[in-house]
Structure 1
Amino acid sequence: MSLTCLGAIRSSYHKFSEKEKKIADYILEKPELVIHQAINEVANDLNIADATVFRFSKRIGFKGFQAMKIALASELLMQKRSDQEEPTTNDDEMTLTKKIFNSNIKILQNTLDMIDKHSLKKAIENIHMAKRVEFYGTGRSAVIAMDAAQKFMNAGLRAAAFPDPSFQLMSATHLTKDDVAIFISHSGSNKETMNILKAANAAGAKTIGITAFPKSPISLNVNIGLYTYADGTEYLPLEFASQVAQICLIDALCYHIFQQKSQRTS
């Protein structure tokens, strides 16, 4: 699988220095401009050295700035082709169904490209060693959290989730350093979920966030961040698209735990 530029930036954003975040923000906000710029033009716009931009390109897995631009251009072209395949009123049943499936496949593949293997491994280890795992989310994310808790219980863990935010907050205050709290939020900035996260951190629990935005308050305040990709369209809003990736990521975590539990008992 070829390395994607935007995915690599999003997955590693939380590890960047301030200068690296400056470059990352520039590329994320102006990808169409960057593919036509020379390295010195990017450096001049950001008032940093050419070498800093070059090192950033290598930091996210490319041989240099030119290789990063080629990957970025290819990524933008694929996105444009995907946009041209959006459903229309002229589509028959099978054509429409194929387009929806292809859109979800793209979201899952982009999320897979964004996953940082070290963060994933650490999350799995923390969940496996936890005495209790609790899932938190509000609105649509509460439904994902409830489903996740049931799956992890089936995998042999003590897991729980509560639909009401007030119960979630109460539960978070009773967590311990041996517990893991997993926060699900597309935006990563929901105020109720953020208050629950503060309570979990104060209680000493290990915290994991599943969001679509590495720079969000929740992402910046959890111990481990796992990120989903969501490319909203007119027919599929961002939050709906994000749920596809959230469910798949949770399923992957759950299967890892189930596998480890099975190995211990065999």
Structure 2
Amino acid sequence: MSNDGLKRIHSLYTCFSVKEKKIADYILANPKRIIHQTINELADEIGVADATVFRFCKRLGFKGYQAFKISLASEIMSPIQQIHEDIKEGDSELSIAKKIFLSNKRSLENTALIMDERSFKQAVDLLLNSQRIIFFGIGGSSIVAMDAYHKFIRTGISCLLGGDIHFQLMEASQMSSLDTAFFFSHSGMNKHCLEIFHVAQKSGAKTLAITSFPNSILAKEADMALFSRSEETKYRSEALSSRIVQLSLVDALLVNVLVKRGEEGLLAMEHVREAIEDTRI
């Protein structure tokens, strides 16, 4: 277990319940004090049950409160600077490149921490049982939608990619209960994305979303939602750094779908390879 308890709390904070946020706030404000407190003392100080504190530590990926305290102690005594948050104007090109790589790595690790097995399985099953999948995204999210379309067309499942906003609205209006509308939005609050989303809902389509905010309208109203985690830096917005995570989630969904489709999926991939083979020199 790496010594990154405080970073994990920051990363997962938006997903916490009211009680979990109460614990998180106390720990973030008093990290040195926590090291010398028993689980009973901490629970009494915050006003929650011992079991609530224990489950909080488990949610962070630790075996229990003691394991969390050991990690926290090491983190405080030997603070690890978040290199990807420390890009300076005087940095060399290679140094900046390495910091960006580490930032992406951290975002992927944070997302892996919050992935829920049941939700991910349901998302795979939703796509697997779709007669047709249409991918939707606005602005930067349209790039992720295009990548998802480019990949899922290899599964043998009928796929479409939304064009501009008007085309996306029209495509959403023609969906049915046999189709899945797959939405990508970092904020989950984009006006045009939500407009298209509600049209797809009205058409009876099942809805799947990937977003960074569990409390967003898109996350709350979609039939199924998966979440990406990323951090904003001085020279790079949170939305930009979340893209690599969303692309990775798409990869994970794709491979799962192909595995479950078995020979049918392999045959579809082979047809794609044969079709584009002559395009190479």
What TM-score do the two structures reach when normalised by structure 2? 0.76
* Inter-CA distance 215–72: structure 2 relative to 1 (3 Å threshold): farther
Q: Tell me if structure 2 keeps the 8 A contact 1:34–1:42.
A: no
Q: CA deviation at 1:218?
A: 0.9
> 1 CA distance for matches of 2:74 and 2:204?
44
* Inter-CA distance 111–49: structure 2 relative to 1 (3 Å threshold): closer
Q: CA deviation at 1:127?
A: 0.4
Question: Identity, % of aligned pairs?
Answer: 31
Encode CA deviations 1:104-140: one digit per residue, 9 max, x unaligned.
1111121122211111111111101110111111111
* Inter-CA distance 96–188: structure 2 relative to 1 (3 Å threshold): same
Q: Which amino acid aligns with 2:204?
A: G
Query: What's 2:56 paired with?
Result: 57
Aligned length: 257
Query: What's 2:164 paired with?
Result: 164
Query: What's 2:224 paired with?
Result: 224
SS in structure 2 at match of 1:81:
coil
Query: What's 2:186 paired with?
Result: 186
* Inter-CA distance 91–191: structure 2 relative to 1 (3 Å threshold): same
* Inter-CA distance 191–153: structure 2 relative to 1 (3 Å threshold): same
Greater Cα offset, 23-32 or 188-197 = 23-32
Q: Tell me if structure 1 keeps the 8 A contact 2:155–2:265.
A: no
* Inter-CA distance 214–73: structure 2 relative to 1 (3 Å threshold): farther
* Inter-CA distance 86–24: structure 2 relative to 1 (3 Å threshold): same
* Inter-CA distance 67–224: structure 2 relative to 1 (3 Å threshold): farther
Q: Tell me if structure 2 keeps the 8 A contact 1:34–1:69.
A: no
* Inter-CA distance 166–127: structure 2 relative to 1 (3 Å threshold): same
Instruction: Give the alignment of 1:1-266 within 5 angstroms.
Output: 5-6=8-9, 9=12, 13=15, 21-26=17-22, 32-33=28-29, 35=31, 36=33, 49-51=48-50, 53-54=52-53, 56-57=55-56, 60=59, 64=64, 67-68=67-68, 81-83=81-83, 86-264=86-264
Choose 1 or 2 for highest CA Rg. Answer: 2
Q: Which amino acid aligns with 2:49?
A: D
Query: What's 1:16 paired with?
Result: none
> 2 CA distance for matches of 1:188 and 1:70?
37
> 2 CA distance for matches of 1:55 and 1:156?
46
Q: CA deviation at 1:71?
A: 5.7
> 2 CA distance for matches of 1:153 and 1:96?
35
Consecutive unaligned residues of structure 1, counting only runs of 5 or more, are 14-19
Greater Cα offset, 177-186 or 75-84 = 75-84
> 1 CA distance for matches of 2:64 and 2:175?
46
Q: Tell me if structure 1 keeps the 8 A contact 2:135–2:148.
A: yes
Greater Cα offset, 201-210 or 123-132 = 201-210
Q: Tell me if structure 2 keeps the 8 A contact 1:188–1:212.
A: yes
C-alpha RMSD of the superposition: 3.3
Q: Tell me if structure 2 keeps the 8 A contact 1:146–1:160.
A: no
Q: CA deviation at 1:8?
A: 8.7
Q: CA deviation at 1:56?
A: 4.5
What TM-score do the two structures reach when normalised by structure 1? 0.80
